[in-house]
Structures are given as C-alpha cells and as structure tokens.
Amino acid sequence: MKFPITLTVNGVPHSIDLDDPRVTLLDLLRERLHLTGTKKGCDRGQCGACTVILDGRRINSCLTLAVSHDGADVLTIEGVASGNELHPMQAAFIAHDGLQCGFCTPGQIMSAIGLVMEGHAGDDPERVREGMSGNLCRCGAYAGITEAVLEAQRKMANPDKPDLAKPDHVKERAA
C-alpha cells in the first residue's frame, strides 16, 4: 500500500509515495529527498538537531510523521540562503563563532530563524536563551549562539538588503 503526499520543500514541490506511514519528516528529508543538512541527533525530541520550519513554525522533524503533513510547506537549512548570499542568521553564526563541530548548527539556525519570525527574540539575551533552550550544543557554543541570534534579529528587523533578510517563501510565511 502506498501513502501519497505532496510537500513543498524550500520552494520546490514534491510528490512522494510513502511505503510506510511511520516515516518521520526527518527521515523523509534525509533519506528520500537527500537533504542531509537537517541532522539526526537523538531521534526522540530532546536535542533540536532536526529542527525545520513547517508552515511557518519551528518543529522537531524527528517527532512528526511525514504522512500527517500532506500539502505542507517546509523550510530546511538548505533553503535559507539566497543564492551565494548567506541568510543573516547564517552570517551571524559565523561572525560570532556560534559553532564548533557544527553538528547542531543547522537545527540551531532553523530554530533561531523561527524564533525571530515568531517575534519572540527581542533584545534580551535571557529571552533568546529561553527561546533556544530546545536546541542543545554538545560543544557548548551557547555564548556565540546567543550573540548571533541577537545580531541577526536586528538585521532581519532592519535589513540593509530586504531581499536577503528572508527568502521569499519565508517572507510569505512570516506575513
């Protein structure tokens, strides 16, 4: 038996026949669509490495079944840059050393973009730490991550180049 779904991932529509309704969104992204930027850390909702933005909201993709998101719009780390221009959150993570090994980084960046889109980042480091508390970093790069989120949210609120602040599909979802 097949379970057909359609998903738009990073602006690209996909029609997918699932063989098994128990396939998680994370496994679909990594194994069927070969979008391996989204990481599998714990596979049980505890680390945030698998964070993507689904219909405008952050979600742990390891905790949700792909079959339950027929017609959804998914944004992954592969879709946030605009051509050769990094998303402001990506650039801020680099500028503030918000990473060491980098394994948690795609999830951190997607969660941070989601946090800013939700309007919950503000300019208080404590609020940012709270808002990012679902994303663990074994390397302990938390100080840089917080600085990066604070800087990026300022740039996303007042972009020098509005088109670079958010890809079009993110802007649509944030509207």
Q: Choose, by CB under 6 A, the member of 12, 42, 94, 143 that binds ligand FES.
A: 42
Q: CB-wise, 77 or 165, nearer to ligand FES?
A: 77
Q: What's at 142, amino acid-wise?
A: Y
Shortest separation between residue 152's beta carbon and ligand FES, angstroms: 17
Compute the radius of gyration of the chain from its Cα atoms.
16
Q: Choose, by CB under 6 A, the member of 23, 33, 35, 49 that binds ligand FES.
A: 49
Shortest separation between residue 65's beta carbon and ligand FES, angstroms: 13
Angstrom distance (rounded) from CA 66 to CA 36: 16
Of the candidates 167, 153, 45, the residue with the CA atom closest to the CA atom of residue 89: 153
Interface residues toward ligand FES, by CB under 6 A: 40-43, 45-50, 60, 62, 99-105, 137-139, 141
